[in-house]
Amino acid sequence: MLKKSLLSRVALCAAALTAGPVVAQNGAPHSLTATSNLSQVSLGWCAPAAPIELKWHDGSDYNGMSGRADDPEGYATFYAAAKFTPADLQAVAGQTVDSISYFEYRHAYKVWVQVYENEKLVSETPVDVSKFTKNTWKTTALSKPYTIAGDKDVMFVVKYQHGTNQDFVANTDRYPTTGKGDVYSYDGKTWHTGGVGDFMITAIVRNNATATPEGYNVYRDGSKVNSSLLTRTDTVLDNEPDGTHRYMVGAVYAQQGELKSAAVEATAISASKLLAPAASFKGSAQELNGTLAWQKPLAGGETLTWSGSQMGNHIGGTSTTSPKVWVKQEFSSSDLLAFQNYQINSIAAYVAEATLSSVKLYVIKNGTIDYSQDVPDSVVQKTTAGAWNQWQLTTPYVMTPGNDYAYGVYYTHTKSTHPVGVDNQPAIDGKGNSFSISAPRSSSFNATKPTWKTLSSGNIAGNFMLRAQVSPVGEATASEQAASYDLYRNGTPLFTGKNVTEWADSVPEPGTYNYTLKTNYASGKQSPLMTVTLNYTLPAAYEAPLIVGSDFDPATKAVSLEWSNSAVNLQHYGTPSYMMGFDEAMTLLYGSKFSASELKSLKGYELRSLKFIIGQALDTLRLEVRTGDNQVLYSEKLDGTALTPQAIYTLKLDKPIAIPEGKDLYIVYNTTLPAGNKAIVIDKGPAADGGAMVSVTGGASWMKLGTIASDYKDFNIVIGATALPASSKDNAGQQAITLGTPVDGIKATTLDAAQLRQGLGIEAVKPGTQAPARRRAAAPVVKSYRVYRNNTVIAEQEGTTWGETLEKCGTFNYHVTAVYQNGWESPQSKTVTVVNTIAQKLQAPYHLQGNATATGQLQLNWEAAGKAAEFNYQKSNTDIAVGMTSSGSKLKSYCAIKMAADTLAHYAGLKITHIKFKLDSLAVENPAVFVMAGDNIIYRQELDAESLVKGWNVVRLNNPVAVDNSQDMSVGYYLEYATGVKPSTCDAGTPAVPGYSDLISASASAGYWYSLKTKFKLNYGWRISAVLATPDTAVQGSRSAAPRKAATAITYNVYCNGEKIASGLDQPSYTVASPMAGRYVVTAETGGEESAESNAVVYTVSSGVDTPAVSKTVSSIAYYNVAGQQVATPVKGVNIVVTRYTDGTQTTTKVVK
């Protein structure tokens, strides 16, 4: 479907259709566009002095997209682009872009405007986001004007960084210009098409013209077509000669004469040479196979309709007071090529029930009601049920070629009746099955703009049974049936001259393909082209690697992954959704069955691990693998009290279990369920054959869960296994249980135990609806694997094991893909999440500074932890507990304090290292702390609910957040809790600073933060505080040395490169007599407990002896062993220390530990 008038695409069509590298003369009209509709050509242009804009959007914001947070604790990033090819830019090649505009709907954290050539960044300019006005255009001048390349693809890009609480950040119009206006990226490297519309981005080309012309002339193929000067900047040319023509517009000046625009082309064709295209053209794709289908076009004649003659259904309005319904048949100008120069004389409808109260006929032209008339009540009362009823138009309605039309009937009828007939034919979607239940405008029926829907949107088949009786007016189109069709893929013919209405296609590789259909007639006439776009995906054989093992050691920070491309998941379940139990104690086996036929393709495979979950705690349970003849292949007793309910576990087997040939296999739980205990977890379907099996006979006989509880016949029990070929070495080793991600939202239910006993042995197994897990017979060959951390490739290798030692704290998401020999990359594996939480130690000493003395010593000075700056609004010692209320079962609460940008100027250069908050109740779930810049959550750290205390909680951030005094910043915490709980604590003795000390929200969305005082009349501020500390610094000194002084034992420790060099210091200073290059930090000891590290001083040694001390801010420090491998902390022996600074410089030193 064409999206929008090309007249709205200023500058694009002119560029795309210009022949040769033509640049418009200064003072000439620009941005000329041409669109054709049969023999009518519409031209539009911009005045010489008007802005020259490069854009694809139509200027109307409608939708939007948001970014991806590669760092799970950080902000999201999104790149929105408008892409232009060299052909698009021919008319402006060599000209200069001075600025880029974009539409603002959300206040993003940071924004840049960028220019890319052939996907390479060539220009970047930061945007001042401090001045934000919602729903306006923001224009940013490029730091250096960009000269448009004439031989490269150019993208004008807006890069957003925004909070994960923001959506609709990059705004679009309604329909995309595929591959040009809808281009986006999450990293600025890999670009995608398929945005929800054209991004609202405009590049503004420098225009030095200032004069206003007296008027304009229009030229076709070099000849002027207007008889007098035009004063408007658009015109419509009717009855243009058949063929492709070049159009230009000249601006006429009194002094300069005439200056002409660049040329554009448009093709005109008289309607008499065309007939109707196919009634519909649709396609579907599965993997690399597609199906195209179309329906025969209208053939002309005396009846204009999409409807069949036989009723298949009948509908009515659902209003309980005044049911009403609009129904219509719709025809495009192309459809009506079969009815050129016809008029509508009457409209007939099939009425199923004689319950009509009123009938109104109408005709719509180009989307607006152009004609309507009431059917007299006396005629309505004579309506015949179960028959066609025909109503004459008072004035026959003439349809002129080149316009879209619809005709229809507006009914009112008796409530609870269904008088409107629907046929039994395939729907002509959007043409034959549209309806509305909108109320007509009381002032003017014809001014009504009904909201249209289709029957298919409600899963109702067929078309409305409407017919229009038509007749020719003068010379009209002769009736003619389609003779054959031509089908093209990306411009290449798939076939020509075939009289078929469907086609199966297969493509060589995944991607987006455009199909074009042309209808041929025996008279030699042809139809306009119809297009459809299909997206093909990777074949299922290109499977994602299966993670068969993962581990994280919090002590060593070592992460390890194991995967396999030959592994198979044996599981019937989907998302765990419900937990079940019985009303009395039951001893039973429950789980899943895998039939011998399902397992046939897994000959030579072994079970290497089991997956399981319990809904509620159990004392003990066994995991078992049994055959259909009740042979126990595996039975492992587990301590149920050590398991966390509602979390999926993986049990890694110490000895693989060979999958038996020719036998069914049961993977089950064996336990005694106490009365009312809901340990059984099931999904929400659809049911798979064997997906939910139970036995109360120790496995001697089995039945489906649905036998005893029909309400659960469509669900599967959550249990499964991973199988690998016996030859595979993956996942071999000691038995271990690994805790996976907890599952939220599992609902509880109870079954009648008596039903289980009564249902024993009477169930017949029927084929299921879910395909069994199986190994692909002809799997493609894997060339390598890519390991991703937080969506960034960090390794590509042939092996199937990988590991690293984490250097930073935070949350890290890992996944693996397979790269095949043909270069295709598989979907990603499941994500493995590692949370490397920073040690929540005592607050560190503050503001460590270093000074290199002239004698070669390093003088360290610091302040006690309590000297660190804190931002809060608290002044009294009086507390009050506060909680939100809601009708829901669980509340979500964000509590925050805001620091104004002008206040933050005092803290420039500091970092938020800790967030403190006070709780009055621990009946909370899923706690987190967060930092906001403006409306954006730029940092969020999940907390362990069990680590919280009643009273003050001091949370050390995994990654301190730098103070940004260009906008307001907020800190706070997030909790979930039940209605009636009051967990949050306020300072009851200090009046609130509305909108600063008392912010609360249920969503953290922009516009949904409220003041406790203003919104809820609670004049309190939160017990929240932000701790602000200094960043790491660097000191450079000479190679001179002096004897080291002895230290006096007191309360501080000094470390160099992780090794303690002084302890027990009672003063906040220390002199390192013979300093080695490296990283110096200080800790404090109180009552035998050591604090976290202070900020670091990084000391480097210069090559000379007279270099003065220099202090710079460190951005990162990396350590490498002598083999060049990066390590988290210095190792024994020689280390290479690479220190990077915020000014872009770096130093490299050798350090011996």
Q: For the chain, what's the residue count?
A: 1153
pLDDT tens string 28-48: 999 898 998 889 999 999 999
What is the pLDDT at residue 14? 30
Q: How many CB atoms lie within 10 A of CB 269?
A: 18
Q: In 3D, which of 777, 745, 753 has the Cα closest to residue 575?
A: 745
Closest listed residue to residue 682, CA positions, set 663, 670, 672, 669: 669
Instruction: List Cβ<8 Å contacts ≥24 apart for 1136-1142.
Output: 1137/1057, 1137/1077, 1137/1078, 1137/1079, 1137/1098, 1139/1034, 1139/1079, 1139/1098, 1139/1100, 1139/1114, 1140/1114, 1140/1115, 1140/1116, 1141/1034, 1141/1112, 1141/1113, 1141/1114, 1141/1115, 1142/1112, 1142/1113, 1142/1114, 1142/1115
If one compares 702 and 478, the residue with the highest pLDDT of the two is: 702
pLDDT of 843 reads: 76
Residue 1108: DSSP 8-state: P
Stretch 196-214: mean pLDDT: 94
Q: Stretch 147-170: mean pLDDT, rounded?
A: 96
Half-sphere exposure of 967 toward its Cβ, with a 13 Å CA cutoff? 18
The structure's pTM equals 0.76
Query: Residue 421, exposed/middle/buried by CB under 10 A (0-12, 13-18, 19+)?
Result: buried
Contact 1020, 1098 (CB under 8 A): no
C-alpha distance from residue 368 to each of 362, 364, 453 (Å) = 10, 5, 16
Instruction: Quote the tokens at residue 690.
Output: 């064997």
Short-list 1075, 1053, 1069, CA closest to 853: 1075
Q: Which residue has the tokens 């995309």?
A: 176
Number of other CB atoms surrounding residue 23 within 10 Å: 17
List of residues 6+ apart from 234 with CB closer than 8 A? 7, 42, 43, 44, 45
Closest to 298 (Cα-Cα) out of 126, 428, 457, 144: 428
Question: Mean pLDDT over residues 1148-1153, rounded?
Answer: 58
pLDDT of residue 25: 60
- Tell which wins on pLDDT, 706 or 878: 878
Is pLDDT of 1039 > 80?
Answer: no
- The SS3 of residue 1058 is coil
Greater pLDDT, 311 or 851: 311
Q: What is the mean pLDDT of residues 849-853?
A: 87
Sole residue written with tokens 């200094």 = 1030
Residue 1122 has what pLDDT?
A: 52
The whole-number pLDDT of residue 1041 equals 32
Task: Write the pLDDT tens digit of every residue in 723-732.
Answer: 998 876 544 4
Checking if the pLDDT of 458 tops 70, the result is yes
Backbone phi, then psi, for 1128, in 5-degree steps? -70, -40
Asked whether residue 503 carries a pLDDT value surpassing 50, the answer given is yes
Tokens of 588: 């039973």
Sequence-separated (6 or more) residues with CB below 8 Å from residue 775: 566, 568, 601, 602, 605
CA dist., res. 539 & res. 438, Å (int): 45
Phi, psi of 993 (to 5 degrees): -100, 95
Compute how many other C-beta atoms are within 10 angstroms of the C-beta atom of residue 717: 30
Name the burial class of residue 466, with classes exposed (0-12), middle (13-18) and buried (19+) by CB atoms within 10 angstroms of its CB: buried
Q: Give the pLDDT mean for 257-285.
A: 93
> Which of 521-530, 1050-1059, 1103-1112 reaches the highest mean pLDDT?
521-530
Q: What is the pLDDT of residue 1106?
A: 32
What's the whole-number average pLDDT of the chain? 87
d(Cα 405, Cα 1001) in Å, to the nearest integer? 50
Our separate counts of H helices and E strands in the chain read 7, 86
Helix (H, G, I), strand (E, B) or coil at 642: helix
pLDDT per residue as tens digits for the range 942-972:
999 989 999 999 998 999 999 998 999 999 9
792 half-sphere exposure, CB direction, 13 A CA radius = 9
What pLDDT does 770 receive? 36
Task: Give pLDDT, residue 446.
Answer: 97
pLDDT(18) > 50: no
Of 168, 165, 170, nearest to 1005 by C-alpha is: 165
Residue 838: the pLDDT is: 79
Return the pLDDT at 1064. Answer: 87
The pLDDT score that the predictor gives to residue 156 is 98
Report which of 444, 419, 446 is spatially closest to residue 314, judged by C-alpha positions: 419
Q: CA 194 from chain center: how many Å?
A: 12
Alpha-carbon distance 539 to 95, whole Å? 46
Q: What is the pLDDT of residue 565?
A: 87
Contact in structure between 817 and 788 (CB atoms under 8 Å): yes
Asked whether residue 56 carries a pLDDT value surpassing 70, the answer given is yes
Whole-number percent of the chain with pLDDT over 90? 68
Helices (H), 517-613: 596-599
Q: Which of 15-19, 100-104, 135-139, 1064-1068 has the lowest mean pLDDT?
A: 15-19
How far apart (Å, rounded) are the C-alpha atoms in residues 244 and 239? 13
Tens digits of residue pLDDT in 64-88:
999 999 999 999 999 999 999 999 9
Residues 6+ apart with CB under 8 A from 470: 302, 303, 304, 339, 342, 343, 344, 345
DSSP state of 92: G
**Half-sphere CA count of 133, side-chain side, radius 13 A:** 4
862 band by pLDDT with thresholds 50, 70 and 90: confident
